[in-house]
Amino acid sequence: MKLSQFKFNLPESLVASNPSDQRDEARLMVLHKDTGEIEHRIFKDVLEYFDDQDVMILNNTKVFPARLYGNKEKTGATIEVFLLRELNRELRLWDVLVDPARKIRVGNKLYFGDDDLLVAEVVDNTTSRGRTIRFLFDGTDEEFRKNIEILGETPLPKYIKRKATAMDKERYQTIFAKHEGAVAAPTAGMHFSRELMKRLELKGINFAEVTLHIGLGTFRTVEVEDLTKHKMDSEQFIIEESQAKIVNKALENKKRICAVGTTSMRAIESAVSSGKMLKPANDWTSKFIFPPYDFSIANSMITNFHTPESTLLMMISAFGGYEYVRHAYEVALKEKYRFYSYGDAMLII
């Protein structure tokens, strides 16, 4: 398929800059992938589509406050430093993006916080905006992380054109987030409230957790018309044996298995055994899913509404059927569904 087949006009007014008042009260479009039928519901109605022994697969990665603002030594110029991933915990080496990048060279020191709570030195250039930095900090790892928590900002995507607030710290995170390592939230999971989780449990629905630490590659634009030539960034994912067993039992019993979010789907599709079962894994994946694609594990999925030409839209088009998803997006635009991270949800079933 071609990149231009995923183009559509998204009015800026439909890109959600704030979450719904209650997690589980965002709108929910239900797309039946065998018929193309569409229903308009509220997210908590998702309960009606699942039954005893069905499984929902959740990504339990936790977003850390990855956006820091520091000052360059001597000039005092303000520099944005976006923490991508920790390269070496002992040496406090991090892979980062800096902005404006032209001012930041190897050897420069950066100071963070009013009383220079953290200081970092640039040790390498990785890409035009990418740098490797070393934090010069003598305290414990716990103290270091506490300082990142104090100085860091919730890494809202750039298309949300406002400053992050205290509300974002809670809402740009799922309620089941456990393992820190993501710089973007698994947004489909943000619609689950504690009450809804409880009601799903009481109905007999099981949850299996996977971890995929989302990197900024999630937002990287596709720049090639021929999709087979696009390369995804690698992301670390972990599937524990106990969680794979929950999924495999449901597979054997022909139950409904729902991948909550494109990241959960990427993780499970990166760990399929030759017998088409889910296997435990601790690995990195650069899997790119676009139509046509034969899915092995999940037979339903929950996702948000994605931006034009994004790899996320390509994945759900592969899952729901290109024509059906295209039509569903036309309906979503007409009905003014809210798009992207803080937007409304879609259940493809």
Segments making up each domain of the chain, as ranges: 3-63+170-348, 67-153
Q: Are 112 and 119 within 8 A, CB to CB?
A: yes
pLDDT per residue as tens digits for the range 232-258? 989 999 999 999 999 999 999 999 999
pLDDT average, residue stretch 83-94: 92
Of the candidates 74, 76, 70, 80, the one whose C-alpha atom is nearest the C-alpha of residue 119 is: 70
Class of domain 67-153: mainly beta
Max distance between CA atoms of the chain, in angstroms, equals 66
The token pair at 193 is 């409230």
The CA-based angle 41-325-250, given to 5 degrees, is 70
Of the candidates 15, 17, 44, 16, the one whose C-alpha atom is nearest the C-alpha of residue 28 is: 44
Q: What's residue 210's pLDDT? A: 98
DSSP 37-95: -EEEEEGGGGGGG--TT-EEEEE-EEE---EEEEEETTT--EEEEEEEEEEETTTTEEE
Q: What's residue 126's pLDDT? A: 85
220: pLDDT strictly greater than 90? no
* Other Cβ atoms closer than 10 A to 323: 10
Tell me, rounded to whole angstroms, the distance of Cα 318 from its chain centroid: 18
pTM: 0.92
Rg of the chain over Cα atoms, rounded to whole angstroms, equals 21
CATH 3.40.1780.10 corresponds to the domain 3-63+170-348: yes
* Other Cβ atoms closer than 10 A to 201: 11
161: pLDDT strictly greater than 90? no
pLDDT per residue as tens digits for the range 317-349? 999 999 999 999 999 999 999 999 999 999 999
- Output 321-327 pairs: Cβ under 8 A, ≥24 positions apart: 321/33, 321/36, 322/1, 322/5, 322/291, 323/36, 324/31, 324/33, 324/36, 325/31, 327/36, 327/38
pLDDT category of residue 148 using cuts at 50, 70 and 90: very high
The token pair at 268 is 């499970």
Q: What's residue 76's pLDDT? A: 85
Give Cα separations from 200 to 30, 42, 196, 270 (angstroms).
18, 15, 6, 27
Return the beta strands (E) in 140-188 as ranges: 179-182
Give Cα separations from 243 to 6, 239, 297 (angstroms).
34, 7, 13
Give Cα separations from 87 to 44, 48, 131, 132, 204 (angstroms).
40, 44, 12, 9, 41
The rounded distance, in Å, linking the Cα atoms of 214 and 183 is: 6
CA dihedral 171, 177, 179, 182 (to 10 degrees): -40
Q: Are 304 and 187 within 8 A, CB to CB?
A: yes
The token pair at 3 is 């990149």
Of the candidates 152, 137, 141, 145, the one whose C-alpha atom is nearest the C-alpha of residue 69 is: 152
Q: What's residue 16's pLDDT? A: 96
The rounded distance, in Å, linking the Cα atoms of 282 and 270 is: 11
pLDDT category of residue 167 using cuts at 50, 70 and 90: very high
